C-alpha cells in the first residue's frame, strides 16, 4: 500500500466505510501469537516434568519414531498442499483451490488418525495421562496440538462448503488466508513437538 | 507478474510457487536430518545430538516463517514482526526461566531425588 495514495484518498476511505487494510489478518496474527504463548507454557511444563516418570514407563521406551516421522511427513505435505491451494486462489481458480484444500484436509485427517492410534497404544500399555506427571504433560501438550488440528479440519470443511456456495468472494479469500496462517502455524508448533518431545525424549 | 491481480487481493501477501517449493525442500532436509541423527545414533554424545537437533528446529521455524507465513519487516508496517519478536521474548523467558528455576529447585532442595 502506497502511503501517499492512502493519504490522498483518506476521505474516500471514510466515506465508503472501508475496512482498514489487513485488519482481520493482523488481528488473526495476534491471536496466533497469543496461542503461541499457550504452547510456550505447555512446553515449559513438559520440560520441567520431563524426568518425572514416578517409576513408570519413559518416553524413550514407548515412542515409535518411524510413526512420528510419518506423522511429521503428513503435516509437512499438508503445508505445501495448502500453499498450492493459496496459489490457485491467487489465480482465481475455485475448482483448483477446493481440490488442494481437500487434499490438505485428507493429510490433516491422516495425521490425526495416526496420532489417535499412538495415543490408544500408549493408553493400552498403561502410559495414560494418569500414570505419571510426565505422561500428563505429554498428553496435554501433544493433545492440545491435536485439538488445534481438529479445529483446523472443521474450519477447512466449513470453508469448502463456503467456497462451493459462494466461490472466491473477498470474504472467502480472507478466510482462506486466515486458515492458511493457522495451518502453517500448527506446523511450526509441530516442529517444536517432534524435536523437543519425541526426538529429545527418545534420547533421555 | 501481478497484472491479473485485482484490487481486493492487494491486502494479502503475494505467494509464489517457487517460494513454497524452496520452503518445502528446506523443511524436508531440516526434518530428515534430525530424525536420522537420533534414529541412527550418529553421534556418541547425547548432548551434541540435542544441541544439533535444537539448532535444526530453530532454523526450520525461521524457514516456515519466511516461506509459508510470508513473514517480513514490511507487512502491517512492521507490526507483524514486532508482535512476533515480542512473543519470541516471552516464549524464551517462559521456557528457559521455568527450566532454569525448576532445575535449581530440584538440585538445591531435593538432592536425594536427582
Instruction: Answer yes or no: are the C-beta atoms of B14 and B2 closer than 8 Å.
Output: yes
Q: Which of B2, B5, B9, B11 is best to mutate for the A interface (most A CBs within 10 A)?
A: B11
B86: enclosing H helix or E strand: helix B79-109
Enumerate domains of chain A plus CATH numbers.
31-45+59-203 (1.20.120.80)
Q: Binning pLDDT at 50, 70 and 90, where does residue A20 land? A: low
- What is residue B15's predicted lDDT score, i.e. its pLDDT? 80
pLDDT for residue B2 is more than 90? no
**CA neighbor of A136 nearest in space, from A38, A35, A54, A36:** A54
- What is residue A74's predicted lDDT score, i.e. its pLDDT? 97
pLDDT for residue A178 is more than 60? yes
Chain B window 29-58: which residues touch A at a Cβ cutoff of 8 Å?
Answer: 31, 34-35, 38-39, 46, 49-50, 53-54, 56-57
Q: Binning pLDDT at 50, 70 and 90, where does residue B112 land? A: low
Q: Which region among A19-33, A59-73, A169-183 has the lowest average model confidence (pLDDT)?
A: A19-33
Q: What percent of chain B has pLDDT over 90?
A: 61
Tell me, what's the ipTM? 0.85
Q: Give the three cell numbers for residue A5.
A: 495514495
Rg (CA), chain B: 20
Q: Which region among A64-73, A155-164, B66-75 has the lowest average model confidence (pLDDT)?
A: B66-75
**CA neighbor of A42 nearest in space, from A127, A142, A135:** A142
Q: What percent of chain A has pLDDT over 70?
A: 89
- What is residue B6's predicted lDDT score, i.e. its pLDDT? 43
Buried b / exposed e along B82-91 (16+ C-beta atoms within 10 A): ebbeebeebb
pLDDT for residue B8 is more than 50? no
Q: Which region among A18-22, A60-64, A194-198, B97-101 has the lowest average model confidence (pLDDT)?
A: A18-22
- What is residue B54's predicted lDDT score, i.e. its pLDDT? 95
Rounded to the nearest integer, the mean pLDDT of chain A is 91
pLDDT for residue A192 is more than 90? yes
Question: How many whole angstroms separate alpha carbon A188 and alpha carbon B59?
Answer: 11
- What is residue B9's predicted lDDT score, i.e. its pLDDT? 44
- What is residue A112's predicted lDDT score, i.e. its pLDDT? 97
Kindly state whether A158 is in contact with chain B, defined as any CB-CB distance less than 8 angstroms: no
Task: List chain B domain ranges.
Answer: 1-71, 74-114
Which of A48, A173, A192 lies nearest to residue B102, judging by beta carbons? A48
Please state the rounded mean pLDDT for residues A164-174: 94
Rounded to the nearest integer, the mean pLDDT of chain B is 86
pLDDT tens-digit readout, B19-74? 999 999 999 999 999 999 999 988 988 899 999 999 999 999 999 999 999 888 88
Kindly state whether B81 is in contact with chain A, defined as any CB-CB distance less than 8 angstroms: no
Amino acid at each position: 500500500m502506497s502511503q501517499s495514495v492512502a493519504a490522498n484518498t483518506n476521505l474516500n476511505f471514510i466515506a465508503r466505510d472501508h475496512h482498514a487494510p489487513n485488519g482481520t489478518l493482523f488481528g488473526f496474527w495476534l491471536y496466533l501469537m497469543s496461542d503461541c504463548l499457550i504452547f510456550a507454557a505447555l512446553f515449559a511444563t513438559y520440560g520441567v516434568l520431563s524426568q518425572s516418570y514416578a517409576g513408570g514407563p519413559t518416553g524413550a521406551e514407548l515412542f515409535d519414531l518411524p510413526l512420528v516421522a510419518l506423522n511429521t511427513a503428513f503435516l509437512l505435505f499438508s503445508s505445501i498442499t495448502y500453499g498450492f491451494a493459496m496459489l490457485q486462489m491467487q489465480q482465481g481458480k475455485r475448482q483448483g483451490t477446493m481440490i488442494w484444500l481437500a487434499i490438505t484436509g485428507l493429510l490433516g485427517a491422516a495425521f490425526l488418525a495416526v496420532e489417535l492410534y499412538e495415543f490408544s497404544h500408549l493408553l493400552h500399555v498403561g502410559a495414560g495421562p494418569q500414570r505419571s506427571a510426565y505422561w500428563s504433560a505429554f498428553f496435554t501438550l501433544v493433545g492440545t496440538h491435536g485439538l488445534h488440528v481438529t479445529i483446523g479440519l472443521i474450519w477447512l470443511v466449513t470453508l469448502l462448503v463456503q467456497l462451493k456456495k459462494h466461490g472466491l468472494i473477498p470474504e472467502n479469500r480472507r478466510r482462506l488466508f486466515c486458515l492458511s496462517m493457522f495451518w502453517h502455524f500448527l506446523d511450526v508448533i509441530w516442529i517444536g513437538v517432534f524435536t523437543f518431545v519425541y526426538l529429545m525424549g527418545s534420547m533421555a | 507478474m501481478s497484472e491479473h491481480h485485482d484490487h481486493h487481493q492487494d491486502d494479502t501477501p503475494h505467494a509464489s510457487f517457487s517460494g513454497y517449493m524452496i520452503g518445502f525442500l528446506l523443511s524436508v532436509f531440516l526434518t530428515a536430518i534430525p530424525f536420522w541423527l537420533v534414529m541412527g545414533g550418529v553421534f556418541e554424545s547425547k548432548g551434541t545430538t540435542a544441541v544439533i537437533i535444537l539448532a535444526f528446529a530453530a532454523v526450520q521455524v525461521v524457514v516456515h516463517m519466511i516461506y509459508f507465513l510470508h513473514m517480513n519487516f514490511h507487512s502491517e508496517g512492521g507490526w507483524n514482526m514486532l508482535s512476533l519478536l515480542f512473543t519470541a521474548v516471552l516464549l524464551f523467558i517462559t521456557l528457559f526461566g521455568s527450566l532454569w528455576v525448576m532445575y535449581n529447585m530440584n538440585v538445591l532442595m531435593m538432592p536425594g531425588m536427582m
